[in-house]
Chains A and B, each alone.
Chain A
Amino acid sequence: DIQMTQSPASLSASLGETVTIECRASEDIYNGLAWYQQKPGKSPQLLIYNANSLHTGVPSRFSGSGSGTQYSLKINSLQSEDVASYFCQQYYNYLTFGSGTKLEIK
């Protein structure tokens, strides 16, 4: 099974800042990676797929990058509505999620 290691587990940043969340796969997943946002008490929402493709309706301040085993989600100009947990998910070989990153406003 492909393991996904996500970091950091939690993150505190100021409004307007840029934050980056990392995800490392235990083997090459050939850009088969997605990112989800889960606001408190809500269902997850798809942000990014194919490592860097923005899903419909997602603000452009979200972006994804990476290749091979290393991937990242960047949020530019952090806003209050970005408070959430973020999960990566690989779909190259079956489906596994990272453990999540909880983002708070400082």
Chain B
Amino acid sequence: EVQLVESGGGLVQPGRSLKLSCVASGFTFSNYGMNWIRQAPGKGLEWVAYISSGSSYIYYAETVKGRFTISRDNAKNTLYLQMTSLRSEDTALYYCARKFPPGVFDYWGQGVMVTVSS
């Protein structure tokens, strides 16, 4: 069974940093591109970042470019999102999601909450 389990969220002050993790199981992690997608409370979905299976291709939404860094460790079956210079508008539930060709998301984690507030 495919499982994606996020962790690392919490309450953080504006301007500070936080690192999210997503541990994958039930599939060959190193064969799949992975994404971070977020959902502000009561709002819609916003794609945040993508990393290809071998980390050769990385893309970011304009809203986080230069502040967030996506990475992965295929030996540990783990996806990461390093978030710096956090703003109140980054407050959201962050999901990791597996990429299913041609560019959609077939498995999602349960999400981890990030709250940016003083």
Contact = CB atoms under 8 A, between A and B. Distances in A.
Contact of B44 (A32, A43, A94, A100): A100
B102 A43 contact: no
Interface in A49-106: 49-50, 55, 87, 89, 91, 94-100
Given A32-B103, A49-B100, A49-B102, A43 B47 contact: no
A94 B109 contact: no
State the main secondary structure of chain B at its contact with A: strand
Contact of B109 (A36, A43, A89, A99): A43
Nearest to A98: B44
Given A43-B95, A43-B110, A94 B104 contact: no
Contacts, number: 47
A23 interface: no
A11 B110 CA distance: 26
Interface residues of A, number: 21
A19 interface: no
Contact of B104 (A43, A91, A96, A98): A91
B47 A96 contact: yes
Interface of B: 35, 44-47, 50, 59, 62, 95, 100, 102-106, 108-111
